[in-house]
Amino acid sequence: MSETYDCRQAFAEELLALARRDARIVAVCNDSVGSSNLGGFREEFPDRLINVGIAEQDMVGVGAGLANGGFIPFVCAAAPFLTGRALEQIKADVAYSQAPVILCGMSPGMAYGELGPTHHSIEDLSWLRAIANLPVVVPADPIQTRAAVRWAAGHTGPAYLRIGRFKVPVTTPAHAPFEPGRAIRLTDGDDAAVIAAGTMVSRALSAAEHLRKEGVHARVIDMPFIDPLDEGAVLEAARTTRGIVTAEEGTVSGGLGAAVASTVVQHCPVRMRILGVPHVFAPTGSPGFLLEHFGLTAEGIVRAVRELLAA
Amino acid sequence: MLKPDPVAIEAWRARRAALLAANAADQEMLLRQSSTELRRTVIRMVERAGMGHLGGDLSVIDILATLFGAVLRLDPNDAHWPERDRFILSKGHSAAALYATLAACGYFAPAQLETFMAPLSALNGHPNRTKVPGVETNTGPLGHGLPVAVGCALAARMQGSARRTFVVLGDGELQEGSNWEAAMAAGHYELANLTAIVDRNRLQQGASTEETNRLDPLSDKWRSFGWEVREVDGHDHVDLLHAFRHLPRRGKPLTVIAHTVKGKGVSFMENRVEWHHKVPTAPQVIAALEELQETGS
Ligand SMILES: Cc1ncc(C[n+]2csc(CCOP(=O)(O)OP(=O)(O)O)c2C)c(N)n1
């Protein structure tokens, strides 16, 4: 787990590789060629990159229209503006219309730390999880990012891909499946389960390593699909461990933790701790500072597991 | 919430009094001096923070210096004085320019500027109304300022108040449709107490506005929505003063299209798209401050 990667790079490479093989792949963006890493795409396929300017609602509608014409649009923008600004377009034009538009939310969570809560994308998972017919995908590393791009281009409906800016190590084992509704078990353990997504996965692994030294065996589950959720893996964790900790780079109101909790509480209530941003607007600070501030770190996960087992 | 700074307020009051008493040429000189000082301040702020949006800060500074130096009716001691003119920086990424301007008026101590974007600072990368006095509404996502400004102008009219509302928009920002919904409403409600200023530097984040999603003919667009339009040199304080001080015809909101240069004042930043959010190196900071030394006063 030494070398770390920017998933936007993996995203851009995979999208370009796909575009070379499939002329239906187009990119749509909002004055974000640089921040969406679409420079290479523009160079090779200038006619297949549509930059609508600073106009996110238009951008998503245009994506839906392109899909209507048989294209496979990857609509790329900073996650807070893509999801927040164009929420109704995502609901009506994309999900409800079953338009195969791939919404790519770049630099989510606390990636824009110092730029403030308007630029923190912590509500996107809650917002989009509430919309039917829209898979919500949070890749944990470059391998899953590439798999998500390939999967999204090949399936017949829309999807939301959350493409992180934090550098992360590779955590996905070779030959791990990448399918909707399928979690990946990264470590075994029956004392507690840590269910994490995106940037929190490598932190969960570090936490499990630390806990093992204390004799606590935590099962780490990587949940790349927030929707559809792997309910089987959640319920198995609920039945075979003493409790569940979830960790996500987003608000606790309605994201991964809420999805896991609602599954657990309906079928097999167990103790839970939900780690995330606790329903507040964050103070000013760097991305790293804010993750520390909210305990979204390996130590924070260790603490939560200890509390859970002590309760 | 940051606290007003009596020393800075006194200095601002004295400058304002001198300005109002001066002849046109001296007014120009005084405003140019404060603009140069603000430019130097934002360059240091961005260097210290290691991030920021210098290009747009430098293009909007003469507009801010003119408004806060000589036009807006305000009381830095009482940021919430009900009869103050309202000012909204819709292009919120130029927060550094706004913070430097507010500090120069004494809304808070200029020393606070050193905390720009530091952990737990009130001076976030985009203006926040609950932390920074003088900020009327939170901005950062583009396309929010004009609708709020329409509401401010309507409120003034409903209360029979003569206060005015000013809002500064980026030109790239005008690609957001919310602006045109608000422009339509302002025309419909004949909000002559509303002034929208377009920082027309012709560049946005990744390229020029005209290459990205064309805005021209820009004045025709505003006119067709029922606005009076004035085009000025956005770095000429006399032009700006004149455009801001004279109310438009009855029943028309006013658009001031301020032709500006992104990165204005620093030769190697001017009109270069990468300075939208590039951070100068230490030697570049020295060179920039030297250039401003020469052009200032
Ligand atoms: C809704 C929204 N979309 C995208 C962005 C990212 N963004 C920040 S500044 C900027 C370019 C703004 O250009 P312009 O309005 O012309 O401002 P200026 O050139 O004066 O800095 C963009 C795209 C944003 N802040 N808000």
Q: Does B198 touch chain A (CB under 8 A)?
A: no
Pocket test for ligand 1, best of B57, B64, B93 (most atoms within 8 A of CB): B93
Delimit the domains of chain B by residue range. Answer: 6-295
Ligand 1 pocket residue status of B136, Cβ below 6 Å: no
Ligand 1 pocket residue status of A80, Cβ below 6 Å: no
Which residues lie below 8 Å from residue B270, measured CB to CB, with a gap of 6+? B261, B262, B263, B264
How far is A213 from A201, CA to CA, in rounded Å?
A: 19
Question: Two tokens at A8?
Answer: 């936007």
Pick the CATH number of B6-295 from 3.30.710.10, 3.40.50.720, 3.30.70.270, 3.40.50.970: 3.40.50.970
Q: What is the DSSP string of chain A?
A: ---EEEHHHHHHHHHHHHHHH-TTEEEEESS-TTTTT-HHHHHH-GGGEEE--S-HHHHHHHHHHHHHTT-EEEEEEEHHIIIIITHHHIIIIIIITT---EEEEES-BTTTGGG-TTT-B-SHHHHHHTSTT--EE---SHHHHHHHHHHHHHSSS-EEEEE--SEEE--PPTT----TT--EEEE--SSEEEEE-TTHHHHHHHHHHHHHHTT--EEEEE--EEES--HHHHHHHHHHSS-EEEEEEEETTTSHHHHHHHHHHHH----EEEEEE-SS---S--HHHHHHHTT-SHHHHHHHHHHHHH-
Predicted TM-score (pTM) of the model is 0.95
Q: What is the DSSP string of B57-79?
A: HHHHHHHHHHIIIII----TT-T
User: Which residue on chain A is closest to B91 by alpha carbon?
Assistant: A54
How many Å from the N-terminal Cα to the C-terminal Cα in chain A? 32
Q: What is the pLDDT of residue A150?
A: 98
Cα within 13 Å of Cα(A165), Cβ side:
20
Per-residue model confidence as pLDDT tens digits over A154-174: 999 999 999 999 999 999 999
The closest CB to that of A114, out of B117, B172, B213, belongs to B117
Helical H segments across chain B, by residue range = 6-21, 24-49, 54-66, 95-105, 145-158, 177-188, 209-212, 218-224, 237-245, 282-295
How far is A97 from A196, CA to CA, in rounded Å?
A: 31
Delimit the domains of chain A by residue range. Answer: 5-168, 184-310
Pocket test for ligand 1, best of A28, A29, A31, A107 (most atoms within 8 A of CB): A31
Per-residue model confidence as pLDDT tens digits over B204-239: 999 999 999 999 999 999 999 999 999 999 999 999
Q: Sort A295 into a burial class: Cβ within 10 Å, 0-12 / 13-18 / 19+.
A: middle
Ligand 1 pocket residue status of B265, Cβ below 6 Å: no
User: Which residue on chain B is closest to A32 by alpha carbon?
Assistant: B206
Cis peptide preceding A228, ω within 30 of 0: yes
Q: What is the pLDDT of residue B295?
A: 66
What is the CATH number assigned to the segment(s) A5-168?
Answer: 3.40.50.970
Phi and psi at residue A53, to the nearest 5°: 85, -165
Q: What is the pLDDT of residue B297?
A: 45
How far is A37 from A12, CA to CA, in rounded Å?
A: 6
For residue B113, give the amino acid letter.
Answer: L
Question: By the 8 A CB rule, do A121 and A56 touch?
Answer: no
Looking at ligand 1, which atom is closest to the CA of residue B203?
A: 19
Q: Does B276 touch chain A (CB under 8 A)?
A: no
How many Å from the N-terminal Cα to the C-terminal Cα in chain B? 34
Q: What is the DSSP string of A86-135?
A: THHHIIIIIIITT---EEEEES-BTTTGGG-TTT-B-SHHHHHHTSTT--
Structure ipTM: 0.92
CB contact under 8 A, B120 and A51: no
Given a cut of 60, whether residue A1 has pLDDT beyond it is: no
Number of H helices, E strands in chain B: 10, 5
How far is B178 from B259, CA to CA, in rounded Å?
A: 22
Given a cut of 80, whether residue A289 has pLDDT beyond it is: yes
Tell me which residue has its CA closest to atom 16 in ligand 1.
B172
Phi and psi at residue B113, to the nearest 5°: -60, -25
Per-residue model confidence as pLDDT tens digits over A27-39: 999 999 999 999 9
The mean of the pLDDT values for chain A is: 97
Per-residue model confidence as pLDDT tens digits over A220-278: 999 999 999 999 999 999 999 999 999 999 999 999 999 999 999 999 999 999 999 99
Q: What is the pLDDT of residue B278?
A: 97
How far is B14 from A229, CA to CA, in rounded Å?
A: 64
Distances (CA, A) of A269 to A106, A172, A258, B48, B65: 35, 29, 13, 51, 61
Cis peptide preceding B217, ω within 30 of 0: yes
Given a cut of 80, whether residue A175 has pLDDT beyond it is: yes
Identical fold at A5-168 and A184-310?
yes
Beta bridge partners of B109: none
- Give me the tens of pLDDT residue by residue for chain B, a chain 297 residues long: 999 999 999 999 999 999 999 999 999 999 999 999 999 999 999 999 999 999 999 999 999 999 999 999 999 999 999 999 999 999 999 999 999 999 999 999 999 999 999 999 999 999 999 999 999 999 999 999 999 999 999 999 999 999 999 999 999 999 999 999 999 999 999 999 999 999 999 999 999 999 999 999 999 999 999 999 999 999 999 999 999 999 888 899 999 999 999 999 999 999 999 999 999 999 999 999 999 987 654
Instruction: Name the CATH topology of A184-310.
Output: Rossmann fold (3.40.50)
Pocket test for ligand 1, best of B51, B54, B142 (most atoms within 8 A of CB): B142
Ligand 1 pocket residue status of B93, Cβ below 6 Å: yes
Question: Two tokens at A132?
Answer: 């039917």
How far is B174 from B176, CA to CA, in rounded Å?
A: 5
CA A255, distance to chain mean position in Å, is 10
